[in-house]
Chain A
Amino acid sequence: AQSVTQLGSHVSVSEGALVLLRCNYSSSVPPYLFWYVQYPNQGLQLLLKYTSAATLVKGINGFEAEFKKSETSFHLTKPSAHMSDAAEYFCAVSERRDDKIIFGKGTRLHILP
């Protein structure tokens, strides 16, 4: 069965510092992996996705993630945090194209001035 584990329900970084949000997945088949962002009182927005092409995936707003099969990880990074990055971030996995998505519990990112 698919599952996603996000390490740290809350992460705080200073403005301008590196953002690193950790995600490990479990899947019985080569997975499709996603990072979604949710701003307060808004819907989910796709940041980036891995679909078996390049292992380093670039997304919107300067975020990127690297698929590491040996570590079953898909960590999200951004070189320099901005105040506008404060939000809830969800890592997610799907076993088939167009299939249901299994989400992690989320990590709330706080940006310190």
Chain B
Amino acid sequence: DTGVSQDPRHKITKRGQNVTFRCDPISEHNRLYWYRQTLGQGPEFLTYFQNEAQLEKSRLLSDRFSAERPKGSFSTLEIQRTEQGDSAMYLCASSPAGSGETEQFFGPGTRLTVL
């Protein structure tokens, strides 16, 4: 079990640039979640997938944000025209939905800094 992995671990970008993050869930976990954590706050839900279907999006996910999970395995989160307010830790989690398990397993996160 290699756990949830995220790439890159750190990203520094200039305001206005586009960035893309990748999340690889635990193998055979069919649910995948994205959260955002700003300094001094708890993680906030952004969106989640059941296989390749995006089931829910938070109002925090503005039009500049888009997430995909095209083959029901890895997922990408893209932020277009980044703003300084987008600086945060972006966390990915996965769970084996339907197995009766409620735990979400979190990756190490991608820390985004927008200059």
Contacts and interface: CB of A to CB of B under 8 A. Distances in A.
**Interface size band for B:** 20 to 34
A45 B56 CA distance: 24
Interface stretch (B14-22, B40-48, B62-70, B72-80): B40-48
A46 B103 CA distance: 8
**Interface size band for A:** 20 to 34
A30 B104 CA distance: 19
B48 A105 contact: no
B106 A49 contact: no
B25 interface: no
Nearest to B108: A43
A102 B105 CA distance: 15
Interface in A49-91: 49, 51, 90
Interface in B1-56: 4, 31, 33, 35, 40-45, 48, 56
Contacts of B106: 36, 43-45
A92 B91 CA distance: 15
Interface of B: 4, 31, 33, 35, 40-45, 48, 56, 58, 91, 93, 95, 97-98, 100, 102-109
